[in-house]
Structure 1
């Protein structure tokens, strides 16, 4: 009585398995490269969005951060002038 393998011809199965294993490193490398590229795109996109929201983008003085500093500076000048009038100070020395 001869033995019958459940998976078929053992030599053929081993050959197919060897071919499959041989192609795995390339497949894994391709998947890793794609994941790296996707990760890089996500990071670059989020950094750009962050820069845009903070106003660090190359828009010039019309960026939101530049406008914020301009408004704050003007308000500080007005507040200092108002305080000087109220308290009667002419000059403030540090």
Structure 2
């Protein structure tokens, strides 16, 4: 789907002023992901951010023994991969 026709169903994207959206739109791509898809592994390099529209993404802290704990949930009001906006290149959580 061309970025210019990507719906702004995510609340952050919907709140973006039209002038800013015009700059972002060419870089936005709508993707469908299967249930249970892992977006990032803990410590992996981030390459994309995700603005959920119809999904909920769980962020998990994975411990050395493999156990995990859910530390956050992101839905259509948020963004996954926010550390990229703050100069980070990796994540400490699994998404």
Per chain length, whose mean CA-contact separation is higher, i.e. which structure has more relative contact order (CA < 8 Å, sep 6+)?
2
Q: Going by fraction, where is strand more abundant, 1 or 2?
A: 2
Using the size of structure 1 for normalisation, the TM-score is: 0.14
